[in-house]
Amino acid sequence: KNEVEQSPQNLTAQEGEFITINCSYSVGISALHWLQQHPGGGIVSLFMLSSGKKKHGRLIATINIQEKHSSLHITASHPRDSAVYICADGGGSNYKLTFGKGTLLTVNP
């Protein structure tokens, strides 16, 4: 059974701080997804990666296939980054997505 573990569950930061959210998965993947969900809002895909590192603005996602671990970094955090961040394992050959429980990030001004 594929399991996806995220840490921390909750994270409070001051504006400008560097943020790291971690994700571990238990089986091989086809792709690892990072998603963002604002309170009461829909879900937006931030990254999809199967190796290495991707960067978009202040957000950086990395993945280590051997260690089955991915991280999402936010540089120079801002209150508008406050949201739930969810990682999802693309499921390997069966393509069934398995989601982590999410990390609630609050960035205070």
Q: Which stretches of the chain bind other proteins, using CB under 8 A?
A: 30-31, 33, 35, 41-45, 48, 86, 88, 90-92, 94-102
Residue number with CB closer to other proteins (61 or 77)? 61
For residue 23, give the nearest of 96, 75, 99 by alpha carbon: 99
In degrees, rounded to 5, the angle at the alpha carbon of residue 106 between the alpha carbons of residues 101 and 108 is 175
Q: How far is the CB of 90 from other proteins (least distance, A)?
A: 4
Residue number with CB closer to other proteins (45 or 106)? 45
Q: How far is the CB of 13 from other proteins (least distance, A)?
A: 22
Q: How far is the CB of 79 from other proteins (least distance, A)?
A: 23
Q: For residue 52, report the phi and psi dihedrals to the nearest 5 degrees.
A: 70, -130
For residue 97, give the nearest of 84, 82, 87 by alpha carbon: 87
Residue number with CB closer to other proteins (17 or 97)? 97
Q: How far is the CB of 7 from other proteins (least distance, A)?
A: 15
* Contact in structure between 98 and 5 (CB atoms under 8 Å): no
Residue number with CB closer to other proteins (17 or 60)? 60
Q: For residue 76, report the phi and psi dihedrals to the nearest 5 degrees.
A: 45, 60
